[in-house]
């Protein structure tokens, strides 16, 4: 009778499963454990489960057991860092998790100690943890190796279905199993195999032996012979059926800085994972491991300095690769360009100072889309290559390439690679059925012969297992499947660059938008606002301190320690809002602290600046020191202790002025009624429900609203099929409740500097209070919003129907803008129903437009002539109380003449996000100063900071509109600018000393002469 290949494979799998039950010759339980110094028996529940617990035990290898074949198997009931130490001082520390539970022993007698938490790798609580298992195993290494080898053959047969090699692989595997000389004594055999699936289904098993006999020497000899013969036969088949494709393997452990666990747990995960990786390197000369994130190494330096020294040794040996070049793996949609620059600056400097290396590869496997500003930032930071796999997560359109040039908005290019591994993506496995589909999915195989694949348990850390290392060794002789070998990531990209120099590759221009996880632009919006404020406070504090230094004050202190806190909270599961509540308790505390430190530095800078200004001959009780911290002229709008100021006149870029009380008189023409707000530039009329019926732009005579503006909608069907905090489905609009009812509409400010109308609303269990205000000199209508939210699984949005028609909307991004379609002509357009923007989105015709500004939001929609802003979401996973309670923010509507840049939209967005800095003074002379004056085309300030080396200042600007032209700065006597420097503050070759290209980022050192 002839069986089909499928039937033979099934038979082969059944027969090979038998090997598992003979893998261990003998076992010996380890008793006498202590839990936090209290005795605990095997199988006993933990006396307490909260926090970090400590287990301690000791073991003696039974007489006659070969030490090299003895293993410690431990399951303490949760994730652990364990130390195995012999009596003579030899010890090994490793991570213990569901994938790492079996370890070699250092001596015949040893102790085991642990730091243990009642959690699993993805943060899942172990509700009733027990001391599950602790025993010594006398391993049969020959059986262990053969069992793994035949499993790999079965996996290869499955994934190579239809390939000519399949019957030969099956023949080889069947012959190997048939060649075994195997035990058959009834009592021993039945007892050994009692845990097999078919045995477990039996009504009543016979009495089982407690210690059934294992293999004897002649059995072992047959296993060794079968293994050697099978490996030789596979090698022969490899000659006949050569490998198809090449895979560069890199060991990896993606460790989310915080996600389904708080950061304190991450600190423990880092140690567990690092120790595990080092232990694998001790047993394998070929194994290579990569780990990104400068912050992790800095944390290890505090928590476990000896561990860091061991990592340094392996970095020097070339086995441990510190990839990435950034401080952490950040979200890239929401941080400012300056924040992303600091990620590179502080990351690269740390790696160089700690390990003596700079990185050429940006490693961001798991972020939710990528700003088009990133290639330029990477290039200036010394990185020429970029890696992610996230582009393969898009649900609607397939990204067109997996080895390609990524061209940023300024034209800078980095070589990008992504792989499509269906087995857990960047948490891959060393298996034939992982290698084959990964290679099959590699679309640029006609251009380049190798794809990258990172392997190891991740997200919650853990990394590579000993089995994966052994699997790689065995797979070296396998036929047909791709050839894989441990490789350094930078070596892979070096080879890819050689290919790219010879062959034309696809070029992707601009942002890489992820057609998934769009709700991360809104979830946990209160933390997003704190982050925005922290960024701006630090940039402003540095800028004012730099201006004071140019005026003769002392050199500013570095704010790097505070910046590091902000950068940490840009991690791609913190800032996007996809973590548990405990993470946001930490984030709020840390960001509040960063804002406080930045504010203190700003106050100190203002005081220092005031001290460098001429003294007044007589006091002026109404005088105010005002600083413009931007590169744009700014209207005189101030928030003073006794109220707001909205005066005539402007302050030049980076200008400093002491204004007398007479200069603070309100601009004329400001009025308010129960349903109108009006000044010299715009007139706003409210509808009966409090939405906006009209915004008349007086200079052009154009109406900005076609329908109604600021219509509030609650979307109660915001219930994605997966990834609750991450996703918003495109059908969320199908169930919308417009919030038209109100509790009160009242005038709350009547001028002379500002007028305001307050609208109080209640929706279900939540309240929304919006104060619509108009300054005397304002060009925009501010909508200050305070929400007390107590409803779940709802999305709140504001929609404004505009009297403007355009095929595209202009959206601010890091270091520039990009245009997005307002229609849905293609599947790519349709998929972009929620998209990121920073401080503004603008819809313009050639001579008129309307901008939607904000000081805290990122999720936008632009469909037809309607601009939408997502205000909050309230998912229940992984934080059931996300966006619960109070939050406050401001957004604004701004009509303008001309295009967005002709109308000054960016300048108004800057003003909304960072008003002029004001300090009442009584002893400074009235006057104006501009120690750093820009000349040429309009530019935007990225940062103005003390240099990392030396006593210089570093000025960084960018061209924000997509134009080009002359640009330079003038400085006070005694100061000069160097030639352009990179983000790393090193000279740039081949770059003009002055002038700016479209979206170019350019920095200069300012040096005392």
Give the torsion through C-alpha atoms of 893, 896, 902, 905, to 10 deg: -10
Question: Does 1 have pLDDT greater than 80?
Answer: no
Q: Is-contact 692 893, C-beta < 8 A?
A: yes
Question: Does 820 have pLDDT greater than 90?
Answer: yes
Mean pLDDT over residues 852-880, rounded? 98
Mean pLDDT rounded to a whole number for the chain = 97
- 229 closest CA partner among 182, 179, 167, 157: 179
pLDDT tens per residue across span 665-699: 999 999 999 999 999 999 999 999 999 999 999 99
Mean pLDDT over residues 915-925, rounded? 95
Mean pLDDT over residues 627-633, rounded? 98
Three-class secondary structure of residue 309 per DSSP: helix
Residue 655: CA count within 13 A, CB half-sphere: 17
Distance separating alpha carbons of residues 60 and 16, to the nearest angstrom: 33
Q: Is-contact 251 456, C-beta < 8 A?
A: yes
Question: Does 451 have pLDDT greater than 80?
Answer: yes
Burial of 423 (0-12, 13-18, 19+ CB in 10 A): middle
Which segments within 352-440 are labelled E, that is strand? 361-363, 385-387, 403-407, 413-417
Phi, psi of 551 (to 5 degrees): -85, 0
Mean pLDDT over residues 642-652, rounded? 95
Token pair for residue 579?
């973590």
Global pTM?
A: 0.97
pLDDT tens per residue across span 930-966: 999 999 999 999 999 999 999 999 999 999 999 999 9
Maximum distance among all alpha carbons in the chain? 113
SS (H, E, C) 913-946: HCCCEEEECCCECCEEECCCEEEECCCEEEEEEE
Q: Is-contact 322 351, C-beta < 8 A?
A: yes
Which residue among the candidates 366, 433, 782, 879 is catalytic per the annotation? 366
- 954 closest CA partner among 965, 966, 946: 946
Question: Angle, nearest 10°, between helix axes 337-355 and 294-303?
Answer: 50
Give the torsion through C-alpha atoms of 558, 561, 566, 567, to 10 deg: 100
Which pLDDT value is given to residue 316? 97
- 534 closest CA partner among 573, 578, 574, 580: 574
Mean pLDDT over residues 375-380, rounded? 98
Could you tell me what percent of the chain has a pLDDT over 70? Answer: 100
Which pLDDT value is given to residue 572? 98
Question: Does 255 have pLDDT greater than 80?
Answer: yes
Question: Does 969 have pLDDT greater than 90?
Answer: yes
SS (H, E, C) 681-734: CEEEEECCCCCEEEEEECCCCEECECCCECEEEEECCCCCCCCCCCCCCHHHHH
pLDDT tens per residue across span 457-485: 999 999 999 999 999 999 999 999 999 99
Q: Is the peptide bond before 885 cis (omega within 30 degrees of 0)?
A: no
974-990 b/e (C-beta count within 10 Å ≥ 16 → b): ebebeebbbbbbeebee
Three-class secondary structure of residue 180 per DSSP: coil
Token pair for residue 645?
């100021």
- pLDDT-derived band at 619 (thresholds 50, 70, 90) equals low
Mean pLDDT over residues 40-62, rounded? 97
Residue recorded with tokens 């009834």: 186
In the sheet with 682-686, reading across from the earlier edge strand, the strands are: 671-672, 676-678, 682-686, 692-697, 702-703
Distance separating alpha carbons of residues 350 and 355, to the nearest angstrom: 8
Q: Is-contact 196 21, C-beta < 8 A?
A: yes
Distance separating alpha carbons of residues 117 and 54, to the nearest angstrom: 9
- 436 closest CA partner among 422, 446, 447: 422
Q: Is-contact 966 999, C-beta < 8 A?
A: no
In the sheet with 816-821, reading across from the earlier edge strand, the strands are: 744-750, 754-763, 766-775, 781-789, 885-897, 848-854, 840-845, 808-813, 816-821
Complete DSSP assignment for 20-35? GGGSEEEEEE---EEE
Which pLDDT value is given to residue 88? 87
Active site residue 791: no
Question: Does 444 have pLDDT greater than 80?
Answer: yes
Which pLDDT value is given to residue 620? 66
Which pLDDT value is given to residue 617? 81
Question: Does 141 have pLDDT greater than 70?
Answer: yes
Question: Does 176 have pLDDT greater than 90?
Answer: yes
- DSSP label at residue 61: P
- DSSP label at residue 639: E
Distance separating alpha carbons of residues 471 and 482, to the nearest angstrom: 14
């Amino acid at each position: 009778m002839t069986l089909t290949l499928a039937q033979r494979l099934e038979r082969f799998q059944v027969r090979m499963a038998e090997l598992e039950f003979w893998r261990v010759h003998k076992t010996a339980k380890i008793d006498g454990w202590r839990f936090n110094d209290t005795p605990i028996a095997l199988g006993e529940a933990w006396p307490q489960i909260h926090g970090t617990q400590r287990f301690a035990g000791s073991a003696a290898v039974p007489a006659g057991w070969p030490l090299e074949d003895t293993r410690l198997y431990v399951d303490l009931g949760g994730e652990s860092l364990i130390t195995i130490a012999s009596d003579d001082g030899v010890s090994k520390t490793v991570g213990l998790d569901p994938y790492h539970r079996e370890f070699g022993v250092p001596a015949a007698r040893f102790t085991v100690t642990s730091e243990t938490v009642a959690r699993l790798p993805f943060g899942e609580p172990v509700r009733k943890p027990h001391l599950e298992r602790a025993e010594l195993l006398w391993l049969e290494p020959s059986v262990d190796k053969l069992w793994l080898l035949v499993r790999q053959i079965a996996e290869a047969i499955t994934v190579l279905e239809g390939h000519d090699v399949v019957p030969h692989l099956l023949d080889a595997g069947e012959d190997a199993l048939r060649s075994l000389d195997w035990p058959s004594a009834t009592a021993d055999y039945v007892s050994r195999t009692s845990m097999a699936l078919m045995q477990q289904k039996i009504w009543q098993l016979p009495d089982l032996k407690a210690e059934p006999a294992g293999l004897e020497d002649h059995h072992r000899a047959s296993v060794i012979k079968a293994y050697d013969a099978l490996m030789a036969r596979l090698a022969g088949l490899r000659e006949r059926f050569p490998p198809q494709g090449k895979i560069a393997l890199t060991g990896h452990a993606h460790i989310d800085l915080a996600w389904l666990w708080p950061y304190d747990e991450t600190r423990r995960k880092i140690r567990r994972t690092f120790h595990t990786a080092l232990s694998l390197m001790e047993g394998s000369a070929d194994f290579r491991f990569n780990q990104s994130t400068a912050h992790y190494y800095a944390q290890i330096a505090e928590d476990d300095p000896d561990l860091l020294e061991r990592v340094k040794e392996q970095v020097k040996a070339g086995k441990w690769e510190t990839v990435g070049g950034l401080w952490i793996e950040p979200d890239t949609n929401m941080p400012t360009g300056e924040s992303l620059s600091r990620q590179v600056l502080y990351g690269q400097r740390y790696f160089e100072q700690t390990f003596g290396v700079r990185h050429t590869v940006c490693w961001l496997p798991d972020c939710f889309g990528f700003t088009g500003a990133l290639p330029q930032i990477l290039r200036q930071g010394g990185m020429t290559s970029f890696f992610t796999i996230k582009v393969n997560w898009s649900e609607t359109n397939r990204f067109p390439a997996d080895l390609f040039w990524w061209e940023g908005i300024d034209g800078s290019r980095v070589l990008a690679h992504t792989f499509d591994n269906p087995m857990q993506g960047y948490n891959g496995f060393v298996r034939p059925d992982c290698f084959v589909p990964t290679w099959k999915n590699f679309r640029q195989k006609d251009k380049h012969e190798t794809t990258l694949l990172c392997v190891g348990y991740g997200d919650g850390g853990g990394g590579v297992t000993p089995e994966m290392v052994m699997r790689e060794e065995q797979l070296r002789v396998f036929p047909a499947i791709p050839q894989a070998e441990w490789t350094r990531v930078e070596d892979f990209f070096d080879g890819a660059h050689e290919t790219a120099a010879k062959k034309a590759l696809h070029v992707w221009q601009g942002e890489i938008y992820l057609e998934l996880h769009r709700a991360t632009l809104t979830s946990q919006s209160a933390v997003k606002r704190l982050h925005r404020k922290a960024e701006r406070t630090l940039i402003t504090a540095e800028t004012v301190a730099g201006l004071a230094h140019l005026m003769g004050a002392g050199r500013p202190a570095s704010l790097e320690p505070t910046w590091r806190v902000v950068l940490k909270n840009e991690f791609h599961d913190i800032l996007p809002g996809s973590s548990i509540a405990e993470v946001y308790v930490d984030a709020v505390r840390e960001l509040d602290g960063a804002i406080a430190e930045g504010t203190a530095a700003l106050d100190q800078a203002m005081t220092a600046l005031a001290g460098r200004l001429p003294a007044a001959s007589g006091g002026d009780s109404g005088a105010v020191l005002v600083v413009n911290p931007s590169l744009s002229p700014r209207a005189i709008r101030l928030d003073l202790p006794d109220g707001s100021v909205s005066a005539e006149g402007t302050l030049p870029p980076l200008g400093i002025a002491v204004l007398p009380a007479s200069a603070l008189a309100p601009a004329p023409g400001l009025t308010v009624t129960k349903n109108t707000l009006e000044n010299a530039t715009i007139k706003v009329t409210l509808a009966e429900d409090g939405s906006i019926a009209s915004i008349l732009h007086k200079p052009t005579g154009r109406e900005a609203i076609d329908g109604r503006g600021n219509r509030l909608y609650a979307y109660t069907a915001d219930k994605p099929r997966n990834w609750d905090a991450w996703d918003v489905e495109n059908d969320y609009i199908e169930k919308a409740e417009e919030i038209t009812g109100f509790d009160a509409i009242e005038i709350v400010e009547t001028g002379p500097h500002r007028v305001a109308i307050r609208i109080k609303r209640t929706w279900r269990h939540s309240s929304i209070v919006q104060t619509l205000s108009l300054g005397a000199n304002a060009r925009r209508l501010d909508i200050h919003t305070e929400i007390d939210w107590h409803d779940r699984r709802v999305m709140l949005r504001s929609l404004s129907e505009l009297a403007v028609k355009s095929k595209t909307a202009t959206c601010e991004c890091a270091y520039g803008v990009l245009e997005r379609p307002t229609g849905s002509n293609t599947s790519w357009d349709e998929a972009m129903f929620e998209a990121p923007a920073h401080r503004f989105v603008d819809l313009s015709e050639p001579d008129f437009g309307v901008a939607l500004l904000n000081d805290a939001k990122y999720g936008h929609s632009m469909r037809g002539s309607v601009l939408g802003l997502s205000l909050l979401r309230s998912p229940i996973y992984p934080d059931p109380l996300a966006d619960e309670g109070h939050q406050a923010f401001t957004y604004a509507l701004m009509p303008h003449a001309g295009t967005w840049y002709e109308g000054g939209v960016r300048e108004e967005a800057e003003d909304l996000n960072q008003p002029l800095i004001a300090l009442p003074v009584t002893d400074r002379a009235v006057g104006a100063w501009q120690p750093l004056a820009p000349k040429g085309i309009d530019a935007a300030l990225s940062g103005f900071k003390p240099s990392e080396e030396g006593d210089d200042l570093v000025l960084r600007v960018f061209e924000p509109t997509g134009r080009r032209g002359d640009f330079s700065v003038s400085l006070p006597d005694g100061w000069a600018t160097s030639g352009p420097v990179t983000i790393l503050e090193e000279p740039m070759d081949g770059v003009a000393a002055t002038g700016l290209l479209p979206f170019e980022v350019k920095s200069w050192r300012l040096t005392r002469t």
